Amino acid sequence: MIPVTKPFLPPQEEYLKYLDGIWKRQWLTNMGPLSSELEMHLKDFLNVKHLLYVTNGTIALQMAIKALDLKGEIITTPFSFVATTSSIVWENCTPIFVDIDINSLNIDPNKIEEAITPKTSAILATHVYGNPCDVLAIEKLAKKHNLKVIYDGAHAFGVKVNGKSIFDYGDITTCSLHATKLYHSIEGGLICATDANLIKKLAYIRNFGFNGPEAFSGLGINGKNSEFHAAMGLANLNHIDAIHEKRRLLTERYNNGLKNLKATAPTWHSNGTLNYSYYPLVFDNEELMLRCMNNLSLNEIFGRRYFYPSLAKTLPYLEPKELAITDSISKRVLCLPLYYDLSLEEVDLICRLILRVQNN
């Protein structure tokens, strides 16, 4: 069986070395030494000014909205994981969907401005599959209309755009370190911000709002992570270069094997680096995509319709909205298996099974 993804695990002995220290210290959570160490290493690795390690990517989004004191409407994308939208609703704001760019599959900056109203407080955009949004265009719009910008960088670990970390754009960028991601800490998330006062506020929010043992700075939540998760993050960080290289080789193998397929990959940002988080294809039509997906399933190979259906049409707590490009793309997109343990020969098999459907 070949799943769409499989978590990378370091050699067991590397992880167990960290556990020995946890047992000796008996410090299991509440930002222990391993969590603090991971923050420092990730800050250096990603070359960002400020970074917090938190429970998961969803909590990171909710904390970002809270820290920026957002109210009213937040313009966002319907082509993302549900947490992007549900976090807005959870924080008592209203998501306003605008359509995506047909090539990058990211939110279309040209359609953001027409959705801005006096109630708009922010833009929350996703770097879909790790592909950088048009950050300069979004920044220009935000400054013009005095809006905050949050980027959901769940897929974008390690990506650079215009020569610097993708996490250095916007007021806040979040990232997911869930087990399905190319780099993970089993469960986990990151919050990055360039403003030192904002990151200080977020640090208080992460710890229930505590500002000392008997004082509070404001409203907070439990956004901390455990030493066991941090240990996995530290162990996996030692292998990030090998993970990246293997995924690059697999991606290039797919590109070569499927060059005659009636499908296209998203157009990557011209000044953005690739991290090979996913292998998405947008088929020429839904019928061909479904036939290919079903043939793979018959051979115990499982792709994922990621993202389907459009968030603008499927969430029971929001009024449905028709968005032509998102609706079309979401019906035709399929992510193929991509993970460290996947072999080049398995990629060749996947390519043959897909092309067999197209050619029959």
Q: How confident is the model at residue 214 (pLDDT cuts 50, 70, 90)?
A: confident
DSSP letter string, 148-201: EEEEE-TT-TT-EETTEEGGGSSSEEEEE--TTSSS--SS-EEEE-S-HHHHHH
Contact between 55 and 61 under an 8 Å Cβ cutoff? The reply is: no
Q: How confident is the model at residue 213 (pLDDT cuts 50, 70, 90)?
A: confident
CA distance 296 to 294: 5
CATH number of 12-98+106-237: 3.40.640.10
CA distance 204 to 222: 10
CA distance 81 to 184: 17
Domain(s) of CATH 3.90.1150.10: residues in the chain: 240-359
Which stretch of DSSP H or E encloses residue 252? Answer: helix 240-257
DSSP code for 338:
-
pLDDT (mean) for 202-210: 96
pLDDT tens-place string over residues 310-343:
999 999 999 999 999 999 999 999 999 999 999 9
pLDDT (mean) for 278-285: 98
Which residues neighbour 16 within 8 Å (Cβ) at sequence distance 6 or greater?
none
Judged by DSSP in three states, 113 sits in helix
Which stretch of DSSP H or E encloses residue 16? Answer: helix 12-25
CA distance 59 to 174: 9
CATH number of 240-359: 3.90.1150.10
Q: How confident is the model at residue 150 (pLDDT cuts 50, 70, 90)?
A: very high
pLDDT (mean) for 99-117: 98
What pLDDT was estimated at residue 148?
Answer: 98
Beta bridge partner(s), residue 151: 125, 173
Tell me the CB-side half-sphere exposure of residue 144, using CA atoms within 13 A. Answer: 11
Contact between 87 and 62 under an 8 Å Cβ cutoff? The reply is: yes
